[in-house]
Amino acid sequence: MRVGVPSEIKPNEHRVGLTPSAVREYVANGHEVIVQTSAGQGAGYTDETYVKAGAKIVADADAVFAGAEMIVKVKEPQKVEWEKLTEKHILFTYLHLAPDPAQTEGLLASGCAAIAYETVTDATGGLPLLAPMSEVAGRIAVFSAAETLLKHNGGMGLLLCGVPGVPPARVAVLGGGVVGINAARMAAGLGAEVVVLERSIPRMRQLDDLFQGRILTRYSSLDSVEDEILKADVVIGAVLTAGAAAPTLVKREHLKRMKPGSVLVDVSIDQGGCFETSKPTTHAEPTYTVDGVVHYCVANMPGAAPRTSSDALGHATLPFGLALANHGLDALKTNPHLAKGLNVLKGQLTHPAVAQALGKPSVDPYGVWG
C-alpha cells in the first residue's frame, strides 16, 4: 500500500504521523511511504532521516493525498485537507468528531474510510491509541496549571508546591482515567495536595493502592464535585466517554463562588470540554478568564512536546497501521478492536456514540461492506 504522511497544519502542531523508525517498519513490510517535505521537522526529524528509512519526500500535501491510499496523521483534518480526501483513501488519525459537525460533514462527503485513534479499543476495554497522548496531556496539564497560577499569567500568585511553612496548592482532578492518573502523579510529585474524583469504585481502589495515601479519592457526585471545585486552586478536567461529547461537570454558576485567580485546565476540550465555559485555545494564546477564573483549554496539549509525543504515538499506532496497510479494510473485519476505530465509511457514520452525539444515524459497517 502507498502510505502518505502530510505535514500537520493545525496551529502550533509540531507532531508527525509517522516517525522515521515507523517508516522503516512500513517499508520493511513492503509498503511505499510518501512524506511531505519538512513534515517531521517540528519533532526533530529531517527529510534526510526519512529518506534513510526508505521514504519518498514530496513537495506538498497535494502530492501526498494524490499519491497515497492511506493517510496517517496526528490531528483531525482541517478543511483544506478533508477536501483532498476521496473514496480511495483510508484516513488514520485522531478525529474527535462529536463536537465537530463541520469536519464530520466533510469526511462524509469525501467518501473516505476514516478511522479514529481515540475510539480504537483493546482486550481490556481501554483506548490504546489515546492512552499515550493522555499520559502526555495529563502531565503537561500540571505543568501548565503551575505556570498559570503565577500572578503574571493571571493566576492568584500561588506556588503549586508551596514552601516550608506555607501550604501547597490544592488540585482537584475530575476523572481517574489515564489523564487523571498522570495529572495526579505529577501534581503529587510536585508537592501539591491532590484529590481525584471518580465514579468507578474499583478504579478508586486502584488509585489508593498506587499512591499509598499520597492523594485523596472521592466518589464523583454533584455534591462532591461542587465541594471540591470550590476548595481547589486548580481543577483539571480529565473525563472521557469514548467517541461522545464530554459531560459538563463545572457550570458557569460555579465560577463566581470559586477562588479568584484559580485555574481550570480542560484536557477534555478535544471532545467539547467538561467545563461549561470552555472554548478551545492555542499554545500561542492558551488562557482566558471568566468571572475571575483562568481557563487553560489548549486543544492539542501534547503538541507542546512533539518529539516525545510523536515517538509515543508512533509506538502505539504502528501495529494497527501496519494491519491496515497489509490488509486494507479487511483488517477491520478480523480485528474487532481496530474496527471500533471506524467512524466514517462510504459517506455514513459507523460509530454509534459519535452518531448519537451529532444527532445522526449510524450504520453497521458490515452492511456497508456488503
The response to whether 358 counts as a known ligand-binding position is no
Angle between helices 178-189 and 201-211 (to 10 degrees): 30
Identify the bridge partners of residue 193 per DSSP, sorted by sequence position. Answer: 170
The response to whether 270 counts as a known ligand-binding position is yes
Q: Is 96 a catalytic residue?
A: yes
Whether the CB-CB separation of 35 and 43 falls below 8 Å is answered with: no
The response to whether 327 counts as a known ligand-binding position is yes
The response to whether 186 counts as a known ligand-binding position is no
CA–CA dist 241, 227 (Å, integer): 23
The response to whether 268 counts as a known ligand-binding position is yes
The response to whether 239 counts as a known ligand-binding position is yes
Residue entry with cell 517531521 = 40
Catalytic residue, chosen from 96, 254, 295, 351, is: 96
Catalytic residue, chosen from 100, 233, 266, 270, is: 270
The response to whether 269 counts as a known ligand-binding position is yes
DSSP 74-133: SSPPPHHHHTT--TT-EEEE----TT-HHHHHHHHHHT-EEEEGGG---TTS--TTTHHH
The response to whether 258 counts as a known ligand-binding position is no
Whether the CB-CB separation of 352 and 91 falls below 8 Å is answered with: no
Position 253, amino acid: E
Phi, psi of 189 (to 5 degrees): -65, -30
Q: Is 60 a catalytic residue?
A: no
Indicate which residues carry an active-site annotation. 96, 270
Binding residues for NAD(+): 134, 203, 220, 239-240, 267-270, 298-301
Binding residues for Mg(2+): 327
Binding residues for substrate: 15, 75
Binding residues: 15, 75, 134, 203, 220, 239-240, 267-270, 298-301, 327
